Each structure stands twice: as structure tokens, then as C-alpha cells.
């Protein structure tokens, strides 16, 4: 976080950043690019498969979340 003057409040950690197996250091921008158009229409078997096979899983609405968790094997 930065203070009102734009300066960092704390120094960064002394350790190296966490890096994924594919070399990704961060992916927040990819999550921020998700939109309502990316929300699945229905919770079906292909959505359950994508939950485990897609890099970012699947995007569901708050009301779909209970249904999704109830059908995960």
C-alpha cells in the first residue's frame, strides 16, 4: 500500500516473489478482465470438468455457487 504522497508504506519482503510453474509471477490482471459474459449459463458436467482443467476454473454467479458445490464429486 502507498501513503497519500504515493510512497510505499512498507518495504517489499526480503524473499523472492512466488512464481508459478509456468513462470507467472502474478495474474491479477487476468482476473480483473473477467466479465459477466464469462459467467457459465448452466451448471452441467462440462462445467464441472472445466472447474478442474481450466487455468482459472469457471466463473459462476453467487446463486450458482451453492449448486456448483453440491454437484462436485
Residues 45-61 have pLDDT tens digits of 888 888 888 877 888 99
- Tell me if 25 sits within 8 A of 19, measured CB to CB: yes
* pLDDT value, residue 5: 94
In this structure, the number of other CB atoms found within 10 A of the CB of residue 31 comes to: 10
- pLDDT, one tens digit per residue, over 10-68 is 988 899 989 988 898 888 888 888 888 888 898 888 888 888 888 778 889 998 989 88
The C-alpha atoms of residue 8 and residue 72 are separated, in whole angstroms, by: 43
The yes-or-no verdict on residue 9 having pLDDT over 90 is yes
Amino acid at each position: 500500500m502507498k501513503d497519500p504522497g504515493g510512497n510505499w508504506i512498507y518495504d517489499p519482503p526480503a524473499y523472492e516473489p512466488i512464481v508459478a510453474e509456468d513462470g507467472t509471477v502474478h495474474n491479477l490482471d487476468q482476473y480483473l478482465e473477467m466479465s459477466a459474459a464469462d459467467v457459465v449459463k448452466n451448471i452441467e458436467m462440462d462445467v464441472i470438468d472445466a472447474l478442474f482443467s481450466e487455468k482459472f476454473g469457471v466463473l459462476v454467479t453467487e446463486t450458482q455457487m451453492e449448486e456448483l458445490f453440491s454437484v462436485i464429486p
